[in-house]
Amino acid sequence: MNQIGANTLRAVDFFCGAGGVTCGLKKAGIEVLGGIDIDAKFKNTYEINNKVPFLNKDVSNLRPSYLKNFFSLLLNDENLVFVGCSPCQYFSNLKSDKTKSKEGRLLLDDFKEFVLYYRPGYVLIENVPGLETKPGSPLHKFKVALKKEGYVFDQKVLNAKFFGVPQKRRRFILVATRLTEKIELPRQTKKKNNIKTVKQAIGNYKLFPVVADGHKDNTAFLHSVAKLSELNLKRVKLTPKNGGSRKAWEKNKELQLKCYKEHDGHHDVYGRLSWDKPAPTITTRFLYTSTGRYTHPEQNRGISIREGAVLQSFPLDYKFDSNSLGAVATMIGNAVPPKLAEALGTSILNHWHKWLLSKQEQDL
C-alpha cells in the first residue's frame, strides 16, 4: 500500500517500558500510536506522559493481526515505524546472573514476526552491544529476514553521550528501511563542547536542592534519595568530592570490603560522580552508592530519583507513577534515553522526507 499523501510518520513502540523511546520520537516530530509491554506497572507512567495508549500484552503470545484494530495499522505502510527495544540483560557484557533474563533472550524473534506481517517502512532496534557479538543472539536471523523482505539497514554501536545525554551509554542500534537502497544512522558528534556533563545536568541547586540521604520528596518531582547504612555513610564521607573513589579508604579495616582486599578492579563502586564528565551508565540500581559510581559529586548521599532521570535525559516534568523508589529506578534505568531516541527519530524523519520528495518528483 502506498501512503504518499500522508504527511505524518507514525510509530509503534514495542517493549516500551516507561516510554523513553516514545518521548524521544514525539520530540523528533513522529506521531507515536502507542506502546506495548508485558509489565503493567509501566502503564500509568507511559500514558500520563505520552497521552497515547499502552497495550499490556506479551508479544510472545500476541497475534500480529491483533494490532490492526488496536492501533489502526495497515499492511505495507511506508509511513510506519516499528521500534523494538527488547529487554537485553541476557546479552549484556556485564558479569551477572543471566538466569532471570534467559526467557527474554529471543524477544527479537517475536518482534520479527510483527515486522514480517506488517512490513512497515522503517524498523529500529536498540540493545546492548552484546546482541551483535554474543553466541546465541537472534540478530543474524533477524537481519537475514529483513534482507529477504527487501530491507536495507545500517548498524553501529553508538554512545548516548554524543547525542545530548549526560551519560556514557554504549548501545547497539540498527535502523532499516525498504523504501530506498540505503539508510544511515546519525553520526556521533565527538566534539568536547557537545558532550553534556553532570554539572550541566544536575548541578543547579535551585532545581536540585541540597538534601541528606533518606530524604523523601512527596511531590511529582521525586527528588528522593535512598537511606544509607551507618557504615556506607562513613564510606561516602571519606570518598573525595568530585570524582573520588573507594581507594581513599581502602586501608581502613572497618570500611574496606572483604571482596576488594585482594581485588583491585571495579573502582566505580562507591565512587562519586565527576562534575565535569558525563555520568557512567545509569542502571536500575543507580539509587545505591554500593552498585557503581552513583554517589553525588559533593553531597554525602546517592543521587536522587529525579537526578537519575535527568542523567537519562528525561524531561524535568516527566512523571513516574509508583509508590516504590526501586520500581521507579528500574523504569529509569531500563529506559532508552529520550535524547538518543530523539536523535534516531530525527534521522529517520529526515530520511522519510527525502524519500517523499523524490517520490513526488517522480510523479510530476
- The burial class, CB within 10 Å (0-12 / 13-18 / 19+), for 136 is exposed
Measure the CA–CA gap between 143 and 128, rounded to whole angstroms: 16
- List the catalytic residue out of 16, 23, 88, 259: 88
Kindly write down the DSSP assignment for every residue of 171-190, as one continuous string: EEEEEEESSSS---PPPP--
Beta bridge partners of 152: 177
Going by C-alpha positions, the residue among 340, 355, 298, 285 that lies closest to residue 22 is 340
- Residue 159 C-alpha cell reads as 554512545
Please, are residues 308 and 191 in contact by the beta-carbon 8 Å criterion? Answer: no
Q: Does the annotation mark 88 as catalytic? A: yes
Placement of cell 554517589 in the chain: 295
Please, are residues 248 and 241 in contact by the beta-carbon 8 Å criterion? Answer: no
- Residue 244 C-alpha cell reads as 573520588
The residues, any chain, with a CB within 8 Å of residue 144's CB and separated by 6 or more, are: none
Please, are residues 107 and 86 in contact by the beta-carbon 8 Å criterion? Answer: yes
Placement of cell 546492548 in the chain: 128
The residues, any chain, with a CB within 8 Å of residue 155's CB and separated by 6 or more, are: 132, 172, 173, 174, 175, 185
Strand pairing of 31-37 and 54-56?
parallel
Catalytic residues: 88
